[in-house]
């Protein structure tokens, strides 16, 4: 089977479990799991569903609300770990003040997250259970159509895994066509990289080319994400510590943020050169829009979704 049916169903089940057991005193790891599992299921829904049913649309709306709430708590946790990791050497008073602010913000956001999960969980868990059954039937139907491929037309075998493969190819082309990366679009680029990575990880079998591509995408995602975290932390620190003239912590955060940006840009460009090379000549503009213009490893990786 082209898509890893067991893994996809497990992701849905793990999210249902996270929602059922989520408490107002959730740990850093529990918040992280809730957020990433929500994002994974959203990716499944967006990639596999060609014609979203009412149940899927309701699911996406509810999951988005949970993910955004969890993201705010997660941000507070990450920012706090960064500041604590710097120690007290830069400016003890500023460090303590900022950590105290982040702690208070986490408590408020945690309260909102818990309320959102408690309010939405019963309906979302029912809809997830319903979708899990539908996902299983969809993948079984595709597997059967693959075995009868020679007797069917393209329209008859069109199904969710083929749609997911097409989405992955479109994402690859979109990422390749970005001509210039900078502070204004690097974070948006990361979001598309993450979507592509989640799609490729849905495949049942991972070849070496696919593993290498996924590893590079994860590396890019982490590097850009860390830079963006430091940018967000810098904005919060500026608001909280603006009255502290000459605060060394602000300069330290700004310096780290700049270094993280340069590193993220280097890693991203490295991935693009290896897997998503661009062509700048006018003669190649048509080729750039075709599947054949994609490098071999990218075609292998995306085709594994519906192989």
| Cβ count within 10 A of residue 191 | 12
Looking at the fold, whether 169 and 112 belong to one and the same domain comes out as no
Looking at the fold, whether 285 and 194 belong to one and the same domain comes out as yes
Q: pLDDT band for position 279 (50/70/90)?
A: low
DSSP 26: -
Looking at the fold, whether 170 and 94 belong to one and the same domain comes out as no
Share of the chain above pLDDT 90, in %: 56
pLDDT recorded at residue 184: 96
Structural domain harbouring 292: 159-307
Q: pLDDT band for position 37 (50/70/90)?
A: very high
Among 109, 134, 151, identify where a domain stops.
151
Residue 278 contacts residue 234 (beta carbons within 8 Å): no
Looking at the fold, whether 143 and 180 belong to one and the same domain comes out as no
Looking at the fold, whether 19 and 147 belong to one and the same domain comes out as yes
Looking at the fold, whether 84 and 186 belong to one and the same domain comes out as no
Among 125, 151, 177, identify where a domain stops.
151
Name the residue with higher pLDDT: 143 or 97. 97
Using CA atoms, how far apart are residues 3 and 165, in angstroms rounded to an integer?
Answer: 10
Whole-number average pLDDT of the chain: 84
Among 117, 151, 185, identify where a domain stops.
151
Find the mean pLDDT for residues 38-57.
80
Q: pLDDT band for position 143 (50/70/90)?
A: low
Looking at the fold, whether 118 and 232 belong to one and the same domain comes out as no
Question: How many domains are there within the chain?
Answer: 2
Looking at the fold, whether 2 and 123 belong to one and the same domain comes out as yes
Q: pLDDT band for position 46 (50/70/90)?
A: confident
Looking at the fold, whether 4 and 146 belong to one and the same domain comes out as yes
For the stretch 206-244, pLDDT in tens is 678 788 899 999 999 999 999 999 999 999 999 999 877
Rounded to two decimals, what is the model's pTM?
0.83
Looking at the fold, whether 35 and 93 belong to one and the same domain comes out as yes
Looking at the fold, whether 8 and 140 belong to one and the same domain comes out as yes
pLDDT recorded at residue 298: 74
Judging by beta carbons within 10 Å of its beta carbon (0-12, 13-18, 19+), is residue 265 exposed, middle or buried? Answer: middle
The DSSP secondary structure of 75-143, one letter per residue, reads HHHHHHHHHHHH-SSS-HHHHHHHHHHHHHHHHHHHHHHHHHHHHHHHHHHHHHHHHHHHHHHHHHHHH
pLDDT recorded at residue 253: 95
Helix %, strand %, coil % of the chain (to 5): 80, 0, 20
For tokens 């993450």, what's the residue? 194
Find the mean pLDDT for residues 126-140.
81
Looking at the fold, whether 184 and 231 belong to one and the same domain comes out as yes
Contacts of 215 (CB under 8 A, 6+ apart): none
Name the residue with higher pLDDT: 102 or 198. 102
């Amino acid at each position: 089977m082209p898509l890893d049916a067991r893994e996809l169903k497990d992701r849905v089940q793990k999210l249902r479990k996270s929602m059922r057991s989520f408490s107002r005193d959730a740990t850093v790891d529990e918040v992280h799991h809730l957020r990433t599992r929500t994002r994974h299921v959203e990716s499944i829904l967006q990639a596999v569903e060609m014609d979203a049913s009412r149940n899927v649309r309701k699911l996406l709306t509810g999951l988005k609300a949970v993910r955004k709430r969890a993201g705010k708590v997660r941000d507070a946790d990450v920012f706090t770990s960064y500041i604590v990791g710097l120690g007290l050497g830069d400016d003890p008073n500023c460090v303590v003040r900022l950590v105290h602010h982040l702690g208070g913000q986490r408590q408020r956001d945690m309260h909102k997250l818990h309320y959102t999960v408690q309010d939405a969980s019963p309906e979302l868990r029912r809809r997830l259970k319903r979708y899990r059954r539908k996902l299983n039937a969809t993948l079984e139907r595709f597997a059967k159509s693959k075995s009868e491929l020679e007797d069917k037309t393209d329209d008859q075998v069109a199904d969710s895994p083929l749609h997911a493969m097409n989405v992955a190819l479109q994402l690859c082309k979109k990422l390749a066509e970005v001509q210039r990366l900078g502070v204004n679009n690097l974070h948006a680029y990361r979001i598309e990289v993450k979507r592509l990575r989640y799609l490729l990880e849905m495949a049942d079998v991972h070849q070496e080319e696919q593993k290498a591509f996924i590893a590079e995408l994860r590396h890019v995602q982490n590097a850009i994400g860390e830079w963006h975290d430091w940018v967000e932390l810098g904005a919060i620190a500026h608001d909280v510590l603006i009255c502290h003239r000459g605060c060394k912590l602000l300069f330290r955060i700004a310096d780290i943020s700049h270094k993280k940006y340069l590193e993220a840009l280097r890693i991203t460009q490295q991935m693009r050169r290896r897997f998503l090379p661009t062509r700048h000549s006018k003669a190649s503009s048509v080729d750039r829009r075709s599947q054949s213009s994609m490098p071999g490893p990218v075609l292998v990786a995306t085709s594994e979704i519906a192989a």
